A = this chain, B = another copy of it.
Amino acid sequence: MMAAKPETIQASYVVRRGRREDCDELLRLIWELADHEGTLQKPTITKEILLEDAFGERPNLHFFVVELKGLEDNGDIRGKMCVGFAAMNGFVTDIFLGRHSKLCGLYIDEGHRGNGLGRALMKAVCKTCLDLGVASLDFDVRMNNQRARHFYSSLGVTNNTETKGWEYWQFRDTNMKKFSSEPECLNGVNTQL
């Protein structure tokens, strides 16, 4: 009789709200996401900002993690590990619609894609948005990220650049400094801040 084939590691996933102690894992995943997107500028976010914005006095960052629970051959639960996350801003005032939320990141580790984890995270995000009573969840998607475009379309998200011609503009702080320091030459306009 042949020896029993070694058991493969059984893994299951838990999607849950992020906790203070997840901030290191979240930071690691944010860096992985930046690498994945080939972002030229490396993330400058700090653990302090994550802790303050998600758990401080005025929290306005919600995040969710996918925790991998694996059973070793001997039945022990392998140390937990996060293999994905979603982060959203609680609410932002939209002067037309009232309030909306912003999805500021969604990422699944490459080895765990195709298991429905992105959908599960987006459900958690949507439920939170609906609980907050916001009118929409807004975010940016890179045009050449076909996988993401297909994924979000399949959930019912609309691409406002394609359908309504809205473009995404950004005023970086260095440019703001330059513009703000230009000498004023407006006649009859008095600024009193």
Q: Which residue numbers of A lie inside 8 Å of B, CB to CB?
A: 11-17, 30, 33-34, 39, 41, 43-46, 49-50, 53-54, 58, 60-61, 64, 87, 89, 91-99, 102-105, 115-117, 119-120, 122-124, 126-130, 134-144, 152, 155-162, 164-173, 175-180, 184, 186-193
Contact = CB atoms under 8 A, between A and B. Distances in A.
How many copies the complex holds: the figure is 2
Contacts of A105: 95-96
A93 to B, nearest CB: 4
Contacts of A116: 186-187, 189
A143 B167 contact: yes
Nearest to A40: B164
Given A127-B180, A188-B11, A169 B159 contact: yes
A120 to B, nearest CB: 5
